[in-house]
Amino acid sequence: MTVWLALDLLLAAGSLALAFGVVRARRVFTAIALFIAHGLLLTLAWVRLDAVDVALTEGAIGAGLSGVLLLAARHRLARVGAGRVAEAPGRAVTIAIGLGCAAVTAALGYAVLALPDPAPSLAAEVAASLAATELGNPVTGVLMVFRGLDTLLEAAVLVLAVIGVWSLAPDRAWRGAPGAPWTVVEDGPLALLARLLPPVGIVVAVHILWVGADAPGGKFQAGAILAAMGLLAWLAGLARVPPTASRPMRATVAAGPALFIAVGLAGLMFQGAFLAYPEGLVKPVILLVEFVLTASVAAALALLVLGPPSADARP
Amino acid sequence: MSGTVFGLLGAALVGIGLFGMLVRAQPLMRIVCFNLLGSGVFLVFGAVARRGAGAGFAADPVPQAIILTGLVVAFAATTLAVALVLRLADDEDEAPR
Amino acid sequence: MSMLADAFTLVAVLAGIGFFAAGTAGLLRFPDTASRLHALTKADHLGLGLVVLGLLPQAGSLADSLRLLAIWALVLFAGAAAGPMLATLTRRTGPEA
């Protein structure tokens, strides 16, 4: 029983306890608070699994932005009234569901324990081809070069999600500013934090983006931090979000995926394969795409957390 | 060893999240439990990544990149689900049956 | 020299853990929100400061030490903003569990 194994078991036990707390919580607020804490423990678990890029993303998006989103939604639901809520299943059905879920867990656990022993891995192929990408971080290499199509589709999914969230606005609120109205306290502690933190946050985000080429980091983590800084400024009333009709904002959200698709089509025309980077220009092209994508991802994440334009917003 | 511990944790989280999603009645609770389910799935995948270590990397980078993509897409799905829940609640509020 | 650094790290981190334990005890045992806030902000921030201080000799470079100190400063900022906000909220809605 080494120290590291004890640490892993402690993290797992804490995460499990928090998950039970989430499911059994009586109030939604308690569940969300425990969920955020669970996300933070999972961030440590990802570090223990030697997936530091995933840890950064889980901390920023999984625990941070998801927590803000859910808390804001809970606040709005508490004000508006939750409306018709489905009935909780009866006791017998609950026990049956519990047994079913326990069976799923047992099957998954057995699968985890029965994983093949010389574990199949693509690490050797990635290591062999990484030198050609001039990147030092293999995860960035996989994201931007080897499975660049996945990243392009992921950025497109974010744009589609923004469109989907905006289209849920009621007709009379269409083209208004996103986000429900929020009572703002001028010059409170939140305003102080919102004045002090964004400059630091921007520097940290740019650093994480830049360092992501050779060390854990990258555009999604940087975009999440930028989105969080923007949301902080909005929460404190120090910044106003442009309305959904604003063309520059729509252009920012669309610019990243559009550039990525353009680079892909250029690769198709000049190199013969979609998303083939030009020889000798691999790293500059990747960096350019990453910069523009960071802005797009940050804008999209912030808009997703803000939500659709609200009917009772001030004009 | 970390791989196995966290893989089993992921399996447990899948079961717990699934149970919460099916049993709890409020929509926001269901969304939170859906995120728990998602984090369990990612952990199982992370265990696979950890076991695929080799060639100088401490964990196989390809599953890591896929988990990253999955995290962002799951977040986008959560925001869409939350927006749907809020819009449904607004409509119920305006047109009481 | 490195043994001295390691001993300093051990002592400082253990002291920091002691303060964290005190803060947690305060969180669990104090009667109302305001005193719990007091325990959390004061004891936990001092505990984190001692842990960071203890880790400074182990940091590889000046940049890493500055990063550790920056982390402590950011946590202090967050606590300095969150504490008064929670206290104002408590005063408005009454001390609840």
Residues in chain C: 97
A267, A275 Cβ separation under 8 angstroms: yes
- The DSSP secondary-structure symbol of C57 reads G
- Average pLDDT rounded to a whole number, residues B51-64: 84
* Touching subunits for chain B (3+ Cβ pairs under 8 A): A
pLDDT at A126: 85
Q: Compute the mean pLDDT over every residue in chain C, rounded to the nearest whole number.
A: 88
Q: Where are the domains of chain C?
A: 2-93
List the structure tokens of A12: 């797992």
Does position A315 have pLDDT exceeding 50, yes or no? Answer: no
CA distance from start to end of chain A = 63
Nearest to A60 by CA among A306, A308, A305: A305
Instruction: Give the Cβ contact number of residue B39 at 10 Å.
Output: 28
Whole-angstrom distance, CA of residue A32 vs CA of residue A38: 10
Nearest to B31 by CA among B88, B86, B82, B89: B82
pLDDT at A155: 94
Does position C95 have pLDDT exceeding 60, yes or no? Answer: no
- Average pLDDT rounded to a whole number, residues A242-261: 91
pTM for the model stands at: 0.92
DSSP per-residue string spanning B2-52: HHHHHHHHHHHHHHHHHHHHHH--SHHHHHHHHHHHHHHHHHHHHHHHHHT
Q: B9 vs chain A: nearest CA distance in angstroms?
A: 6
List the structure tokens of A268: 């198709």
C56, C65 Cβ separation under 8 angstroms: yes
Chain A touched by B27 (CB under 8 Å): yes
Does position B60 have pLDDT exceeding 80, yes or no? Answer: yes
Residues of A in contact with C69 (CB under 8 A): none
Q: Compute the mean pLDDT over every residue in chain A, rounded to the nearest whole number.
A: 89
Does position B78 have pLDDT exceeding 90, yes or no? Answer: yes
Whole-angstrom distance, CA of residue B44 vs CA of residue A112: 7
The pLDDT tens digits of the residues spanning A289-312 come to: 999 999 999 999 999 999 888 876
Kindly tell me the burial class for residue B29, based on how many C-beta atoms sit within 10 Å of its own C-beta (0-12, 13-18, 19 or more): buried
- Average pLDDT rounded to a whole number, residues A160-181: 86
CA distance from start to end of chain B = 56
Mutate to test the interface with B, among A30, A53, A66, A80 (most CBs of B within 10 A): A66
Chain B touched by A78 (CB under 8 Å): no
**Kind plus residue range of the DSSP H or E element containing A176:** none
Does position B52 have pLDDT exceeding 80, yes or no? Answer: yes
Residues of A in contact with C80 (CB under 8 A): 189, 192-193
Does position A209 have pLDDT exceeding 90, yes or no? Answer: yes
Please tell me the CATH code under which domain B2-94 is placed.
Answer: 1.10.287.3510
Which is higher by pLDDT, A90 or A230?
A230
C68, C23 Cβ separation under 8 angstroms: no
Q: Compute the mean pLDDT over every residue in chain B, rounded to the nearest whole number.
A: 90
Chains C and A touching, counted as 3 or more CB pairs less than 8 Å apart: yes
Confidence of residue C97 (pLDDT cuts 50, 70, 90): very low
Chains B and A touching, counted as 3 or more CB pairs less than 8 Å apart: yes
pLDDT at C65: 92
Phi-psi region of A81 (alpha: psi -120 to 50; beta: other; left: phi over 0): left
The pLDDT tens digits of the residues spanning A50-81 come to: 999 999 999 999 999 999 999 999 988 888 77
Tell me what ipTM this predicted complex has. Answer: 0.94
- Average pLDDT rounded to a whole number, residues C41-56: 92
pLDDT at B93: 64
Question: Is C77 within 8 Å of A188 when comparing Cβ atoms?
Answer: no
Chain A touched by B95 (CB under 8 Å): no
* Touching subunits for chain C (3+ Cβ pairs under 8 A): A
pLDDT at B95: 59
Confidence of residue A211 (pLDDT cuts 50, 70, 90): very high
Instruction: Select the residue of B19, B86, B89 nearest A101 (Cβ to Cβ).
Output: B19
Q: Which amino acid is at A102?
A: A
The DSSP bridge partners found for residue A169 are none
